[in-house]
């Protein structure tokens, strides 16, 4: 999608360790490393808590700087405030091109909106129950459940063999059926992928895909998948892995609402099947 720049991005990674699992840090770094160089790596938390013990080896292994933040009041950690202050200081002093924010806390929504309004990209990572305002505020948000399962070598910005669309890496990890999705997202089944029937019932998703296709289509209604992806990126925080599909091309095909042309090439294109039925299309 259009989030890739000609130059390598300078990325500042800020981790809310109180709200992020240590065992996903390798996958998070892999994702961000495809976008640029992660110059700043910091993890915030009250490191006196036994619950953060799993982070110790990860901090050393991946050269992540721990930032100690004591809880100033009960039942409320202060890591989010410390992260916000540091993010603003980094932005105005060091001017990174992008930020990686690892948290499931909606309190970061105003920070993300401010950073994006000033020209910085923000790549969010969080659990599936992450509130929708935070998800939508990010340039791209990837659910942690979609990372680290049956990795196929694809990454956030690679082009897949199906053609010009951006690859979205690994299939989503299995999620228990009773786990609720974030508002506006499909409820995740116990299988790796959201099935076609459920995709077709997601009016918001279909509208997003159709609107993007219509915006970049040619006179016959065909649109390059790469252009569709760029259009979506300019409008919403979106990643096909959150639906269990490795690429945008695969997600479009799975909906069975689009015709496909030149599959397996860099010119893979899609057309709304409703346009194909129109003799004037």
The domain made up of 153-281 is a member of CATH 3.90.1150.10: no
> What is the Cα–Cα distance from 79 to 67, expressed in whole angstroms?
9
Residues 23-64 pLDDT 10s: 999 989 988 888 889 999 999 998 988 889 999 999 999 999
| Ramachandran bin of 256, using left for φ above 0, alpha for ψ from -120 to 50, beta for the remaining angles | left
Range(s) within the chain of domains with CATH label 3.30.420.610: 153-281
Domain 1-147: give its CATH code.
Answer: 3.40.50.1010
Burial class (CB in 10 A: 0-12, 13-18, 19+), 160: buried
The span from the CA of 162 to the CA of 271, in Å, is 15
- Cα dihedral value 189, 194, 196, 202, nearest 10: 100
The model carries a pTM of 0.64
pLDDT the model gives residue 58: 92
In whole angstroms, give the CA distance from residue 239 to residue 256. 18
Report pLDDT for 119. Answer: 93
Structure tokens at 171: 């299939």
Question: pLDDT for 104-147, tens place per residue?
Answer: 999 999 999 999 999 999 999 999 899 999 999 999 999 988 87
Is pLDDT larger for residue 62 or for residue 173? 62
Q: Percent of the chain at pLDDT above 70?
A: 77
Model confidence at 73, pLDDT cuts 50, 70, 90, reads low
Give me the pLDDT at residue 230, please: 80
pLDDT confidence of residue 41 = 95
Enumerate the CATH 3.40.50.1010 domain ranges in the chain, comma separated.
1-147
């Amino acid at each position: 999608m259009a989030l890739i720049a000609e130059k390598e991005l300078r990325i500042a990674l800020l981790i809310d360790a109180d709200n992020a699992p240590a065992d996903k840090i390798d996958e998070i770094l892999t994702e961000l490393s495809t976008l640029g160089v992660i110059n700043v790596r910091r993890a915030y938390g009250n490191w006196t808590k036994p619950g953060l013990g799993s982070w110790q080896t990860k901090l050393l292994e991946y050269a992540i700087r721990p930032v100690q933040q004591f809880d100033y009041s009960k039942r409320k950690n202060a890591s989010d405030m410390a992260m916000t202050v540091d993010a603003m200081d980094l932005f105005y002093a060091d001017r990174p091109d992008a930020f990686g924010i690892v948290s499931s806390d909606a309190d970061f929504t105003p920070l993300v909106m401010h950073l994006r309004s000033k020209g910085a990209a923000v790549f969010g990572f969080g659990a599936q129950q992450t509130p929708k305002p935070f998800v939508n505020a990010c340039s791209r948000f990837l659910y942690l459940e979609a990372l680290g399962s049956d990795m196929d070598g694809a990454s956030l910005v690679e082009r897949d063999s199906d053609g010009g669309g951006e690859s979205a890496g690994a299939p989503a990890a299995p999620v228990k059926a009773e786990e609720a999705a974030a508002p506006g997202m499909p409820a995740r089944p116990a299988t790796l992928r959201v099935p076609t029937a459920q995709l077709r019932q997601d009016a918001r998703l279909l509208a997003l895909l159709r609107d993007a296709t219509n915006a970049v289509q040619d006179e016959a209604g065909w649109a390059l998948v790469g252009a569709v992806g760029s259009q979506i990126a300019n409008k919403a925080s979106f990643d096909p892995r959150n639906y269990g599909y490795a690429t945008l091309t695969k997600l479009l095909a799975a909906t069975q609402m689009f015709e496909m042309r030149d599959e397996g090439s860099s010119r893979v294109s899609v057309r709304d099947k409703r346009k194909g039925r129109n003799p004037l299309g």
